[in-house]
Amino acid sequence: MVQSAPPSRCRADRRFALVSLGLVVSILVSVNPLDAEQLQTVILKQLNLDQSPIGLASANIEPEPSSVRTITPFTADDPAALRLRSFAANGDVSGLDGVLYDNRDRDHSTIPRARFPQLTFMEYDDQLRRSGLDYGLAKVLFPAFVTIGNSSTAYRSGPSSRSLPRAAMTGFQPLETAVAPFYSNALYVYPEHEDHDQNDLFPANWPYTVISQGSSGSDKPFLDALLLTLAAFPAETRQRLQDERLIAPALQMILRYGMENVLSPEHYRSGRAHPTAFNANQINQVAMILQANALQADAIPPMPQIEVVEETFLDHAGLLGRSEKLFDTPAAIARVWRDHAGRKRMVLSAASTHDPNGRSLRFDWVLLRGDPSSVKIRTMDQAGAVVEVLMDWHDPGATNAPDGKASARIDIGLIVNNGVNDSAPAFFSVLLPHFQQRAYDVDAAGVPRLLEIDYRNANRALSYDPLLHWSAPWRDTFLYDDQGNLTAWKRFITSNEIHVDPAGELIPQPGTILEFRERE
């Protein structure tokens, strides 16, 4: 993990010290006495510390049944609350007993307590607050609860400024802070804060968090929608989802189907249902509640599990010889295109995906972002669980997001259907170095072949992530013989500085051309 300053609120300068904890925390619980007019709060206190291999804490606490029967107050007259109360009157909703709200920005962006009387609110004692365990990305798992949480904070200074999800994606913060809660019935909402405005700066897509479009406060409409949706599940359905650790995947599926611009299964299998960051003005809360209440326990969908079988992405590539493998997780795989190849190949398998009710599955692999003429997806088995993906180099513009935002990413999604319901998506993403200028032609076999690459970025001032890419003040050209074999390459240096190559060798002064030839 890269050491960093702590995140700050998205619209404030106040900072809080954070520490990296590789420990499990056992917690004592203080529950306030309740009557029908009171709300429940759980206060965490550190009891003892044990080593944890994944760097997160685990709270050994159990939910206390709420004495409050009202899911939403009768003064709430918005359409979603009215629909939820109508379902509750018929006794066919689970409510919010055993659901925890984990605010991780010290109430900078929080939900009104009176909105959800049954909800349990998490608070951290002074000792844990001083350690930073309560702040930023999720660092505590609550295995006995269903958890909804948020943090309207971001890293806001220096070249590593970024949102919390991008911090986890790029290794600036531990990846487990996003992945582990998802598989523990927890879903957190984080703002994109300047990572998804004019340009989409995220190196990958994933289902592990909900990323809200905007900064502080943009997460609150999603918290409201997710809690209403949770409350609308039939009791048996929610229990089954919780037992299978499928609460977060089910919420992700319903949220994406609940966007105003997603009107059909075909739309769900397109980029419009799977943006990197979601706009709050697209949320249809009533549609989400209806879908949640209609989900039956014997038809809950699985969560796709994907893995790499074969690939041509390299362990060492690019200017500094860094790996092209950004991360491999059960539902999201990400790569960074660094080397000179004009075509990449990946074989992916979802064969380990199983339906919780033993239903037969259909696997739909779809291109969500990228040029359809440059990405080929070929099924390799009868079930459709294994595919070969061939990707040719994409020039800037070919990878723009469906909403028109500039993007340097190819996204492939996997949707699994069990005959009744679609799953949440799994993703395979590839980030391209579009700040570079590359020129390719096509060889006799139809494969793109590199002719020139310009690493200079100073005059173009295109944005790129300094944790993932590096620029250089030179341009390389490549020469081939009649058989298409690389015979030489030349480096043109045009700056007025002394340069040292990645191996530590002095590069000659400006105006010179370095020529390299293949050995005879």
Q: Is the pTM of this model over 0.75?
A: yes
Q: Is the pLDDT of residue 107 over 70?
A: yes
Predicted pLDDT at 44: 80
* Number of C-beta neighbours around residue 83 at 10 A: 18
Is the confidence at residue 510, as pLDDT, over 90? Answer: no
84 burial via Cβ count (<10 Å: 0-12, 13-18, 19+): buried
pLDDT digits (tens, 9 = 90+) for 308-362: 999 999 999 988 899 999 999 999 999 999 999 999 999 999 999 999 999 999 9
Percent of the chain scored above 90 by pLDDT?
64
Q: Is the pLDDT of residue 90 over 70?
A: yes
Q: Which of 27-36, 103-112, 351-360 has the lowest mean pLDDT?
A: 27-36
pLDDT tens readout for residues 114-167: 999 999 999 998 999 999 999 999 998 888 999 999 999 999 988 889 999 999
Percent of the chain with pLDDT over 70: 86
Q: Are 26 and 53 in contact (CB under 8 A)?
A: no
Residue 214, beta-bridge partner list: none
Q: Please tell me the chain's helix, strand, coil percentages from 3-state DSSP, rounded to the nearest 5.
A: 15, 30, 50
Average pLDDT in the chain:
86
The arithmetic mean of pLDDT across residues 71-75, rounded, is 80
- Of 210 and 51, which is predicted with more confidence? 210
Q: Pairing state of beta strands 99-103 and 120-124?
A: parallel
What is the 8-class DSSP label of residue 391? E
**Cα separations in angstroms, 183 against 58, 246, 329, 385, 475:** 13, 7, 11, 22, 46
